[in-house]
Amino acid sequence: MTSANEWIDQYGYLAVLIGTAIEGDGIAVLAGIAARHGYLNLLFTIVATALGGALSDIGLYFVGRRYGDAIIRRFSKHRERIERARSLILRHERLWIIGLRFAYGFRIIGPIIIGSSGIPVRRFLLLNMLGTVLWAVTVVVLGYWVGDVLHRIFAGHPRLEIWLLVIAAWIALLAFAVHRFRRRRQI
């Protein structure tokens, strides 16, 4: 590999899928920016983003089905909030499952609670796919729009634009790493 373009051609959609499964919004926005600049196809980027988000949610849902109650017991000081969330989910399960990807701060514990609540697998899968597609379209198109604005600002300076994208990706990864580190220290 001699250039970033070749790397993106070979691994771009896989990187988007894995990145959105692990991180989510930041990677999806960056992927939308990359699509605007012609590095990725917009439709394939949306599909990879939706699949990454869905795989993450589905994996956590099954963790919740198998180990949810044990996991929730480990967070005894948050028990009351978790039970309140479970009650809301059971009362409005369709809305919560579809809106799960939009509920920042609820993306990890949400599918675990949903899985431990006895909501049928088929219902979860259908509603979650609908929600992840809506989320992927929204966030990737937002990134595409941001990419369009950046393109207008930096017209005639393509190298500067690429460096800013690389820096933004590193900042997103660093922010994610710091967030994970702080979270582990609290547990």
Query: Where do the structural domains in the chain lie, given as residue ranges?
Result: 3-147, 157-186
**8-state DSSP, 143:** H
Residue 21: how many other CB atoms lie within 10 Å: 20
Specify the pTM.
0.76
Token pair listed for 69: 């109650």
Give the separation between CA 7 and CA 18, rounded to whole angstroms.
15
**How do the pLDDT tens digits run along the chain, 187 residues long?**
445 556 666 788 999 999 899 888 888 998 998 898 888 999 999 999 999 999 999 999 999 999 988 887 887 777 788 788 788 888 888 988 998 888 877 888 889 889 988 889 999 999 999 999 999 999 999 999 988 887 777 777 667 767 777 788 888 888 888 888 877 766 5
User: Which residues make Cβ contacts (< 8 Å) with residue 98, sequence separation at least 6?
Assistant: 127, 128, 130, 131, 134
- Torsions phi, psi of 184, nearest 5? -65, -35
